[in-house]
A and B are shown apart, each in its own frame.
Chain A
Amino acid sequence: MTEEKKQDLVEISELLSVPHKFATGPTMGRFLSEIRDHKRIVANKCPKCGRTQLPPRIVCAACHVQVDDWIELAPRGEITSYDVTYVPTLNPLTGKMREVPYTTASILLDGGDTTFMHFLDVTDPKKLKIGMRCEAVFAPDGERQGRVTDIVHFHVITE
């Protein structure tokens, strides 16, 4: 590359903010409305292999058949992995930096086959272990909007 003239190098900044509106459809919609209206976590169950899918999906990925059976899972389960984020990143949903540290966990709800990723209320990794139990903490009645974040976080419990 030839030696560039400094005045020829221009830098342009842009903040692209594109509004989106996502239809949930009836499958994901049922999952979200059960949380909003009844504080219930539901999955659907493959009629062929019996595997439950969380979030519920239109077909079973393994059997390639449509899934119409529903099952309620316990709002508590086992932590199968977790991480603690220390370096703040921008939350694209709010445009604000996330508060750190925060803990993300993979949670196998009782009665389920696939894990749920959500926040945990314990942020010291020394106080956490794979296999610990946790329970969903729902937003108060009247404040739930049909979002995964209607579960505020999972609370680590001792049973």
Chain B
Amino acid sequence: MAERVGIVAVAQTKFEPRKWKERFQEMVWEVVKDVREQTGLGHGPGQIDNAVTCSDDFFDCRTISDAPIGDLVGAHYGPEEKAASDGLQAVFYAAACVASGHSEITLVAGHCKESQSDRNMITHCAFDPIFSRQVGLDYLNAAALQARMYCECFGVKPEAVARAVVRDRKHGLLNPKAQVQKAVTIEQVLNSPLVCDPLREMDIYPSSDGAVALIVAKESRAKKLCKQPVWILGAGNCYDAHYLGDRKLWQSASLKFAAKRAYNMAGIKHAKKELDLLELSAGYSYEELLFLEALGICNPGKAGNYIMSGATDLGGELPVNTSGGKLCGNPLIISGLARAAECVIQLRGEAGRRQVAGAKVALAHGATGPAGQHHSVMILSNK
């Protein structure tokens, strides 16, 4: 049987609205240097022997956006491949490289500087130029259409949606790497300016710059590289239809499928009982509810009540987004990577004031595409 695959080091920059003092290469170097120092590893045979990166051509304004960071990740005369979707997919590819025997130790590095460009224009370009771009769709628009459909379908109250923002902001205060460090009330969320009705300013993740890196190793190496490797027990991913009009936007069929694959691989039968914490890539408030339902934690339309009850707060039954989540700010494409990093920090018991006591199993989630089109789910454990 193949050896297990573990994460042995993680590092993330502070997420900021505009890192004007750094080029994206400097952001990447900060986190790569960090994970190398944590493990004492360099690059080459017997050390970090492979790299998987994650970045976006449009945000970086060049084709093959991984090319300019090759030297920073050991890909100068070395192997490297890029995940052009959410960063959690990069972890998945890295784990596959190690599990297959292609690599013993793989570096994962993701970066994105949203401040380099205009997020709405970039996400606009994710749509079909002939059919959908002509009518101005971008991720914000798609999310607003989905938010209305989901909330109307189940009669979800705006207060319940706002409560998810309140929770993430509260958790973000405890995470020094979180971009937004400001608590809000339900009333403040509901009175923030309308941007794209029904979504308001505080329902939407802020524009953000940052980088995340981690190192994945096969079991025999992992145990020697750190005191507490975090094992990848299962992973799954799934795409929904390309055209928004094909999708039943009040649910997330693709996340449900991705979760099922990950749960099966990890041997999870009752997610709500067996998971100790979840990190969700929700860029818009209502997604915090919708995604919990697709993951099987709540029945359709019921996540709002669950969140309102405080169950997903730190100290509650099943804490969600102890990092502050994407709503406290981290760039579009590396959200899943930031989620995985937080799970590792929690499972190593290094989360300080936001530590989930006795956490053993965590779920990291990544999403790409308009209205959560593609989903990645990963189950991580310290056992």
Please list the residues of chain A having a beta carbon within 8 angstroms of any beta carbon in chain B.
Answer: 1, 4, 9, 11, 14, 16, 20, 22, 24, 28, 32, 53-55, 61, 80-87, 89-93, 98, 102, 104-106, 114-119, 125, 130, 147-149
**Set B30, B61, B193, B197: member contacting A84, Cβ < 8 A:** B197
With contacts defined as CB atoms under 8 Å apart, how many contacts are there between chain A and chain B in the complex? 117
Q: B146 — which chain A residues lie within 8 A by C-beta? A: 81
Main secondary structure of the interface of B (DSSP, over half): mixed
User: Whose C-beta in chain A lies nearest to the C-beta of B146?
Assistant: A81
B230 to chain A, nearest CB (A): 28
User: Whose C-beta in chain A lies nearest to the C-beta of B118?
Assistant: A90
Contact A104 B137 (CB under 8 A): yes
Please list the residues of chain B having a beta carbon within 8 angstroms of any beta carbon in chain A.
Answer: 20-22, 26, 30, 61, 118, 120-121, 124-125, 128-138, 140-141, 144-149, 152, 193-199, 241-246, 249
Q: B131 — which chain A residues lie within 8 A by C-beta? A: 28, 55, 148
Contact B133 A93 (CB under 8 A): yes
Contact A85 B141 (CB under 8 A): yes
Q: A104 — which chain B residues lie within 8 A by C-beta? A: 135-137, 141, 144-145
Q: A14 — which chain B residues lie within 8 A by C-beta? A: 61
The 7 closest A-B pairs by CB, nearest first: A83-B144, A115-B245, A84-B197, A81-B149, A89-B120, A148-B134, A114-B245
Contact A89 B20 (CB under 8 A): no
Complex Cα distance A14/B152, Å? 43
Contact A61 B246 (CB under 8 A): yes
Complex Cα distance A11/B116, Å? 11
Query: Would you list 16 pairs from A and B whose C-beta atoms are within 8 A, ordered by A residue?
Result: A1-B22, A1-B26, A4-B21, A22-B129, A53-B243, A83-B144, A83-B145, A85-B141, A89-B124, A90-B120, A92-B121, A104-B141, A117-B145, A125-B198, A148-B130, A148-B135
User: Whose C-beta in chain A lies nearest to the C-beta of B197?
Assistant: A84
Not counting A83-B199, A86-B197, a sample of 15 additional A-B residue pairs whose C-beta atoms are within 8 angstroms of each other reads A28-B131, A54-B245, A55-B130, A80-B149, A84-B197, A86-B193, A89-B120, A90-B120, A90-B121, A92-B121, A92-B125, A104-B141, A106-B249, A117-B145, A148-B134
Complex Cα distance A61/B149, Å? 23
**Set A4, A16, A119: member contacting B135, Cβ < 8 A:** A119
Q: B199 — which chain A residues lie within 8 A by C-beta? A: 83
Which one of B20, B147, B152 has the greatest number of beta carbons of chain A within 10 Å? B152
Q: A106 — which chain B residues lie within 8 A by C-beta? A: 145, 149, 244-245, 249
Q: A53 — which chain B residues lie within 8 A by C-beta? A: 243, 246
User: Whose C-beta in chain A lies nearest to the C-beta of B128?
Assistant: A55
Q: A32 — which chain B residues lie within 8 A by C-beta? A: 130
Complex Cα distance A81/B142, Å? 10
Complex Cα distance A54/B242, Å? 12
Contact B195 A86 (CB under 8 A): yes
**Set A9, A80, A130: member contacting B20, Cβ < 8 A:** A9
Q: B138 — which chain A residues lie within 8 A by C-beta? A: 89
Q: B141 — which chain A residues lie within 8 A by C-beta? A: 83, 85, 104
Complex Cα distance A147/B131, Å? 8
Q: B133 — which chain A residues lie within 8 A by C-beta? A: 92-93
Contact B197 A125 (CB under 8 A): yes
**Set B22, B61, B121, B149: member contacting A89, Cβ < 8 A:** B121
Known: A16-B61, A61-B241, A90-B121. A81 touches B21 (CB 8 A): no
Known: A1-B26, A91-B136, A119-B135. A22 touches B130 (CB 8 A): yes
Q: A116 — which chain B residues lie within 8 A by C-beta? A: 245
